């Protein structure tokens, strides 16, 4: 006896791919229709929205709704397929091990009945239980009559139950035409009813119609390792773009912090010694010197000196040195480390740490503002936008930057010329899943975009004459 729950692997692959295509098509259609209407609205308002910016917006939206979905489906594919196969294997195992609770005999001739088939079926259509039970189909070896029994031995009866109250429903069928039977089910208790239509006619031409783009869209949306890598690269580039924008917003909203960071004196190790030795000597600490720097994640350097004041106690000596060092280091990128100053028989030692990165320096500035004492008097901060990180912006958005010259008057030899610049949109910000060739459901500005972000004259200059 065979069980047909578990199919070959290709069946599940095809089932999964079909679902992937349907989902991606749905969201692709949403993106395309939205941007077609957006472009119409911009044209109606005669907006000067730059085409590269609109393409970039489309590409990012397409990534969020379609490409990221295709990547997710790719990553989960085999895990889902294996779970489906494992589920169906368990169903087949359960069917194989299932037996009737008692022996059945033919009600007509009394002969033994043999199981010829068993499958899962919901016992009560109106039941809230989602667990299917096993139904056995038996056949008499003598008279060939058949009966169906549930696993617990109770006989199967064709009863439709109400989904509202679980009472038995009556049914009335009528043939509307030669190909259609309409059945009305009515609850004998609460009156709930519904209609079921059975169409016995042959399939229409539309039912037989083959999806002309299925194979093409399967290649587009059911991605391989190569396309998955490209989409991951795009995800990283979009994250880089978002971080750049967030950083610009942060710089604009916290200009006073970044101005304070600029005002911090970034001292070299040699300058550090020149800064601290005079003040230490003034407070009667002699032989002040720095040790060998430890160059790891942070730059840490030790220092030591001798206390020349015989009247100063150990506690006062440590605290006085900590105070003068901390005060002298204010406004610089160096700080006394939290373990403070050690003291033994007038010999004092400690460690200093350098703050190098922008994040570390910002923390210094924020801490000073939090304590109500800026790094140093900060000059007035203008209200204009904070400086833009041009280098990071170029690396994020652009590639293939070309600078050239063009004669203003091509007919005039040796005349004035203008500098020109052409820049393409970064490869990792472009569409990764290709659209169908000639697909008019894709906005025209997307289909015709040549990936040029900037193509303009920079400044007119006078050609030098020899």
- Are both 280 and 349 inside the same structural domain? yes
Q: Which two tokens stand for residue 348?
A: 């004092």
Q: Which two tokens stand for residue 273?
A: 């010694």
Confidence of residue 465 (pLDDT cuts 50, 70, 90): very low
Q: Which two tokens stand for residue 289?
A: 């010197």
Instruction: Provide the number of structural domains found in the chain.
Output: 4
The parent domain of residue 248 ranges over 224-263
- Domain for residue 243, yes or no? yes
- Domain for residue 420, yes or no? no
Decide if pLDDT at 3 tops 80. Answer: no
**Distance from C-alpha of 230 to C-alpha of 236, rounded to nearest angstrom:** 10
Q: What are the φ and ψ backbone dihedral angles of 387, each rounded to 5 degrees? A: -55, 140
- Domain for residue 71, yes or no? yes
CATH at residue 288 = 3.30.70
Q: Which two tokens stand for residue 109?
A: 């001739």
- Domain for residue 178, yes or no? yes
- Domain for residue 349, yes or no? yes
Nearest to 127 by CA among 152, 160, 154: 160
- Domain for residue 122, yes or no? yes
For 280-294, what is each residue's pLDDT tens digit? 999 999 999 999 999
- Domain for residue 418, yes or no? no
- Are both 273 and 358 inside the same structural domain? yes
- Domain for residue 332, yes or no? yes
- Are both 155 and 88 inside the same structural domain? no
For 52-73, what is each residue's pLDDT tens digit? 999 999 999 999 999 999 999 9
Among the candidates 345, 371, 397, a domain finishes at: 371
- With tokens 């109606």, the residue in question is 44
The pLDDT of residue 203: 55
Confidence of residue 186 (pLDDT cuts 50, 70, 90): very high
Q: Which two tokens stand for residue 339?
A: 């373990």
Partners of 150 in the beta sheet? 135
Among the candidates 97, 126, 151, a domain finishes at: 97
- Are both 146 and 175 inside the same structural domain? yes
Decide if pLDDT at 48 tops 80. Answer: no
Confidence of residue 252 (pLDDT cuts 50, 70, 90): confident
For 78-101, what is each residue's pLDDT tens digit? 999 999 999 999 999 988 888 888
Decide if pLDDT at 412 tops 80. Answer: no
- Are both 19 and 83 inside the same structural domain? yes
Within 13 Å of residue 432, how many CA atoms lie on the same side as its CB? 31
Q: How are beta strands 334-344 and 299-307 bridged, if at all?
A: unpaired
**Distance from C-alpha of 217 to C-alpha of 209, rounded to nearest angstrom:** 17
- Are both 194 and 129 inside the same structural domain? yes
Q: Which two tokens stand for residue 309?
A: 């004041």
- Are both 182 and 257 inside the same structural domain? no
Confidence of residue 399 (pLDDT cuts 50, 70, 90): confident
Q: What are the φ and ψ backbone dihedral angles of 168, each rounded to 5 degrees? A: -70, 140
For 194-248, what is each residue's pLDDT tens digit? 888 877 665 555 556 788 999 999 999 999 999 999 999 999 999 999 999 888 8
Within 13 Å of residue 433, how many CA atoms lie on the same side as its CB? 30
Highest mean pLDDT: which range of 20-24, 274-278, 360-364: 20-24
């Amino acid at each position: 006896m065979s069980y047909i729950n578990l199919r070959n692997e290709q069946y599940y692959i095809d089932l999964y791919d079909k679902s992937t295509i349907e989902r991606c098509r749905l969201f692709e259609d949403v993106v395309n229709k939205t941007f077609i209407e957006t472009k119409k609205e911009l044209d109606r308002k005669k907006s000067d929205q730059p085409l590269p910016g609109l393409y970039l917006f489309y590409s990012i939206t397409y990534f969020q709704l379609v490409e990221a979905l295709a990547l997710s489906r790719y990553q989960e594919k085999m895990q889902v397929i294996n779970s489906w196969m494992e589920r169906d294997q368990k169903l087949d195992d359960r069917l194989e091990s299932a037996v009737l609770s008692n022996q059945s005999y033919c009600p007509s001739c009394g002969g033994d009945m043999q199981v010829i088939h068993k499958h899962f079926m919901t016992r009560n259509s109106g039941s809230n239980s989602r667990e299917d039970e096993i139904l056995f189909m038996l056949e008499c070896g003598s008279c060939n009559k058949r009966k169906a029994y549930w696993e617990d031995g109770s006989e199967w009866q064709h009863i439709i139950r109400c989904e509202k109250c679980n009472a038995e429903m009556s049914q009335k069928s009528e043939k509307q035409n030669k190909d259609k039977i309409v059945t009305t089910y009515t609850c004998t208790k609460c009156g709930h009813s519904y209609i079921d239509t059975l169409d016995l006619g042959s399939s229409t031409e539309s039912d037989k119609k083959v999806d002309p783009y299925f194979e093409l869209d399967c290649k587009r949306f059911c991605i391989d390792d190569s396309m998955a890598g490209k989409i991951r690269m795009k995800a990283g580039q979009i994250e880089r773009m978002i971080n750049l924008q967030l950083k610009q917003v942060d710089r604009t909203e916290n200009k006073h912090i970044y101005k304070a960071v600029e005002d911090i004196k970034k001292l070299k190790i040699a300058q550090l010694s020149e800064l601290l030795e005079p003040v230490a000597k003034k407070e009667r600490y002699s032989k002040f010197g720095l040790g060998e720097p430890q160059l790891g994640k942070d730059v840490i350097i030790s220092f030591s000196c001798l206390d020349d004041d015989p009247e100063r106690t150990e506690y006062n000596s440590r605290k006085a040195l900590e105070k003068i060092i901390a005060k002298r280091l204010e406004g610089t990128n160096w700080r006394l480390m939290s373990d403070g100053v050690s003291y033994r028989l007038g010999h004092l030692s400690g460690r200093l740490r350098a703050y190098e990165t922008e994040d570390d320096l910002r923390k210094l500035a924020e801490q000073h503002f939090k304590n109500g004492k800026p790094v140093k008097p900060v000059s007035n901060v203008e209200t204009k936008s904070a400086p833009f990180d041009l280098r990071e912006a170029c690396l994020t958005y652009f590639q293939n930057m070309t600078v050239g010259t063009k004669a203003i008057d091509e007919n005039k030899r040796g005349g004035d010329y203008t500098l020109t610049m052409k820049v393409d949109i970064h490869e990792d910000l472009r569409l990764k899943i290709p659209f169908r060739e000639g697909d008019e459901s894709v906005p025209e500005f997307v289909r015709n975009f040549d990936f040029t972000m900037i193509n303009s004259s920079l400044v007119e200059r006078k050609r030098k004459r020899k």
